[in-house]
Structure 1
Amino acid sequence: MMKLHWSPKSPYVRKVMVCAHELSLVDRLELVRSVAAMLKPNQRLMQDNPLSKIPTLVLEDGFTLFDSAVICEYLDELGQGSLFPRQGADKWQALRWHAFGDGLLDAAILWRNERERDVPLAALIDAFTLKMRASLKQLDDEAQALAETPFSIGHITVGCALGYLDYRFADFGWRGIAPRLADWFAETQTRPSFQNTEPTAG
């Protein structure tokens, strides 16, 4: 059995777990609760990943894989079906949305870290807010394409990014910025893979 360093709150872990559900691989994963705080490196986790980051996947032969993008692609080779289109326009669209979703998550996590400081830097908060609004408007323009394109790693990552905004930025009201995207997200949330990976405070 493979071992996955895991947290119920990490959106990057959620992306891996959504893939695992979609590819019927959950039963092959042993979930190891691992805390990966920026200022407190996890010595146990560092035995498998010296960067002390999650998700980290330990294969049955002890070989380790990180980060989430690599793990998702590895699971895709093992699983039933495929979330990574192999060629053509669908491939590049899926990879673009994958990168877009990861970029949103990167920005959102830095945004959250900054706003939780004792004295947040106003210029930085404004910059993150501007980028987030612009990104959501762009994705809102692409909502129809998201709905019409075969479900892929791109859809998963964008969905996990929006789920993270719900979890950590409920007061931001992103649906008012991107109503068409909100409709697409609502449909995506009906998939069992998303329902079974809702972030929790545990």
Structure 2
Amino acid sequence: DGMAVFESAVICDYLDQLAKSQGISKGVIPESGPARLSALKWQGLADGMMAATARLYADSQREDGDRSEDVMERQAQAITSGIEAILDGLPALRTEEPHLGTWSVLIALYYIDFRWPDRRFDIPVRVRDWMAIMSERESFTETTFHLPHDGD
């Protein structure tokens, strides 16, 4: 109908409903109840972590005098707290039937690694093991972003 759809959560919901209505898949956002709340809660946590990562990275690229150390510390703490929440909630992030929150968390963790390749943020081994299992899924490997190499 030509309507613009924007903001990641809205786009995800739109695509999920479209896939369900066309019988393409059963979707990744549960329709109701505790499962839906869990998926949206994890998606919200991941969105916050990605926003904090982007803000911290952007501030780190500024000249020393233009940086806000308080803001940078607050963003770093948000990322660290998110990683701790993921570790604590890992059993809820099932690998056999991932929901939108599961995928969002996985992407947020890889985004942290992408922005901070020096591993500034300590992602625990148990979480990295979970990431490895999830990243073996065909739906992930076929859609993973790769930086272009020289000459590409």
Tell me by how many angstroms 1:153 deviates. Answer: 0.6
Distance change >3 Å, CA 118–CA 84, structure 1 → 2: same
More strand, by proportion: 1
Q: Hey, what does 2:140 align to over in structure 1?
A: 194
What are the superposed Cα offsets for residues 15-71 of structure 1, whole Å, 9 maximum, x if unpaired? Answer: xxxxxxxxxxxxxxxxxxxxxxxxxxxxxxxxxxxxxxxxxxxxxx32210111111
Tell me by how many angstroms 1:187 deviates. Answer: 0.8
CA contact (8 A) 1:97 1:155 kept: yes
Q: Hey, what does 1:132 align to over in structure 2?
A: 79
**How high is the sequence identity, in percent, across the aligned residues?**
29
The amino acid across from 2:98 in the alignment is: F
Q: Hey, what does 1:34 align to over in structure 2?
A: none
Q: Hey, what does 2:99 align to over in structure 1?
A: 152
TM-score, scaled relative to structure 1 = 0.64
The equivalent position to 2:30 in structure 1, one of 85, 109, 116, is 85
Is 1:62–2:2 an aligned residue pair?
yes
CA contact (8 A) 1:147 1:184 kept: no
The amino acid across from 1:69 in the alignment is: A
CA contact (8 A) 1:95 1:154 kept: yes
What are the superposed Cα offsets for residues 89-125 of structure 1, whole Å, 9 maximum, x if unpaired? Answer: 1111001001111111111111111000012322222
The equivalent position to 1:163 in structure 2, one of 107, 110, 115, is 110
Tell me by how many angstroms 1:157 deviates. Answer: 0.8
The amino acid across from 1:126 in the alignment is: E
The root-mean-square deviation of aligned C-alpha atoms, in Å, is 1.8
Q: Distance in 1 between matches of 2:97 and 2:36?
A: 10
Tell me by how many angstroms 1:188 deviates. Answer: 0.8
Structure 1 residues not aligned, in runs of 5+: 1-60
Structure 2 residues not aligned, in runs of 5+: 20-24
Q: Distance in 2 between matches of 1:91 and 1:84?
A: 6
Higher relative contact order, structure no. (Cα contacts within 8 Å, ≥ 6 residues apart): 1
More helix, by proportion: 2
The amino acid across from 2:61 in the alignment is: E
Distance change >3 Å, CA 149–CA 134, structure 1 → 2: farther
TM-score, scaled relative to structure 2 = 0.83
CA contact (8 A) 2:53 2:76 kept: no
The equivalent position to 1:109 in structure 2, one of 29, 35, 54, is 54
